[in-house]
Amino acid sequence: MSFLRVASTIANRQCCTLAHQQTAVSQTLRPRDAGGIFGSNQNDSRKQLRPQGAEGHSARKLSHYQRELPSGHIPFSCPEGRSLFQEALRSGQMETYFYVAEQFQTQAEPTYCGLATLAMVLNALRVDPMRKWKGSWRWFTEENLGCGCISPKSVEQGMAMQVLASLADCNGAATEVMYAPSAIHNSKEAKEFADFFRAIVRETCSRGERQFLIASYSRGFLGQTGDGHFSPIGGYHEESDSVLIMDVARFKYPPHWAPLKDLASAMMLPDSETGKPRGFMRLSAHPKTHAQKISAPRKPLEVRYLPKAAGQWIAGSLLEKLAEDQRKLRNFHSWSMLALSRWLSAVEATSPGILGNIVVVDDMDLFMGIVQQIYSRSELFRTLCKSYAELQALGFEDSFPALRIHECKLEDCQSLSDAPQTCGELWILFLLLLPQHLRAAVSEHLAHPNLSSEICKMVRCPWALPMEALKETLHFALPAKQSCTRWAGDGYLAFGPQPTLGTTGIALVPQPAHLGQLRIC
């Protein structure tokens, strides 16, 4: 680094950290802010880990409208911060920044740092929430990330890293979680973890793929007010060994550059709620979202990958709409017309675009053959098809397509695409393949527990077993009730050179016996 660059750096840092010259005030209460609830025990190990220069920061006058960063942290927008950005960009270590910057947001509540970070990363990953946000738009926010017993209300007192990882997986991300070790600052183990973290940061920030890092760290260790906090990493500057923290608590601290080794040490402090060290996680799109784009061999029907949180929302929304419709007495001359009107009304209220992306036609020719087999063998299917046509003739639910496959000549059906909305028979078959609790909510005539399996057995071709598997997948995707998630006592998320992805997409290695179990709800 040249003499002029050193002089410029010193001058700019003095400009960006002017508040360090403020006089201290005594007995100032610390407000409950973006991390103050997450872990506030000031134990001896924290004092040992606190870096030089951090002492005395808590004695400064606290502001409730933005705060100055501690020494060594460089605001992103100041001249030195911009210079670091330009150099990191030229070195290829800012590839993930632009994806995150597109979705950058401020947390909506003081304790929503984890939810805001996760919503931002999921949107940057282009994960489809498969549930409505406002109007017909689908989008992740802090308010719609709930899954099972995890909800924004349940994390008002903060959340542990395990909970955030489980929430990310439930909403459709593949998650690798790496814990920091329980070590003292500047120890050999701490240095090894910092080297490991640095390697992951370099790899992730230099790749053009949409992969993102979320850090869970102690603000207090870095000399900032508050304690536990989540924020994404936006980039890496090699020469200064600094990372860009895209702080979601922008009402408090701006995005800033921080020394990587200090951030790594800030992860080693234990969370007071779990007793475990903090760490970081790497998120990418779930592998199943890529696998579904290429289907080999092609199948007549396919249930697309549906994140757990989306499935819970869809099932709950359908039940809610069906319960509302139950109170509206409709006079139809047959139970089948009433059942179909209730089903299509619930789909319309939930969104045909969302449900139409769950069960899709992969090969129209094969699907037509299956529909014709079911039609010839199932009186129930024929009855529903007849009622569907009668509803269409009455102009009811005209936003749904007409029947187009039964007794249709092949040359007349060539124009059919693989979208569910082009074929009325698919909506009827979708209804019959629903889990029992949803079918029963539509009509008591469809409540038999074996109805879906009986429909699948009518398919007499090589696709009979795949149809049964499709039905089971649909039953799993639209659960009858929300269940709490548990972290098993025989698995531990930790840092290591080659994390192994488990079936949930979360890296698992053997867990030390003293850590026990953690129930996240």
- Contact (Cβ atoms closer than 8 angstroms) between residue 113 and residue 39: no
Residue indicated by tokens 């401020």: 106
Token code pair at residue 270: 């234990």
How does DSSP assign 123-164, residue by residue? HHTT----S-SBTTB----GGG--BTTB-GGGGTT---HHHH
Residue 288 phi/psi, 5-degree rounding, is -65, -25
Residue 268, number of CB atoms within 10 A of its CB: 27
215 forms beta bridges with 231, 280
Active site residue 247: yes
Distance CA 427, CA 389 (A): 12
> Residue 157: exposed, middle, or buried by beta-carbon count in 10 A (0-12, 13-18, 19+)?
exposed
Active site residue 229: yes
List the catalytic residue out of 73, 185, 229, 237.
Answer: 229
Q: Quick one: how many helices (H) and strands (E) in the chain? A: 18, 11
Give the CA angle between residues 11, 17, 18 to the nearest 5°: 90
Active site residue 413: no
Distance CA 218, CA 278 (A): 8
**List of E strands, 353-490:** 359-361, 486-487
List the catalytic residue out of 247, 262, 271, 325.
Answer: 247
Q: What dihedral do alpha carbons 432, 433, 436, 441 form, nearest 10°?
A: -50
Pairing of strands 518-519, 486-487: antiparallel
CA nearest 12: which of 214, 240, 181? Answer: 240
CA nearest 332: which of 349, 323, 344? Answer: 344
Q: Please state, in angstroms and as integers, the Cα–Cα distance from residue 497 to each residue in 47, 154, 186, 234, 503, following that order.
A: 29, 34, 20, 22, 19
Give the CA angle between residues 51, 52, 55 to the nearest 5°: 95
Catalytic residue annotation: 113, 229, 247
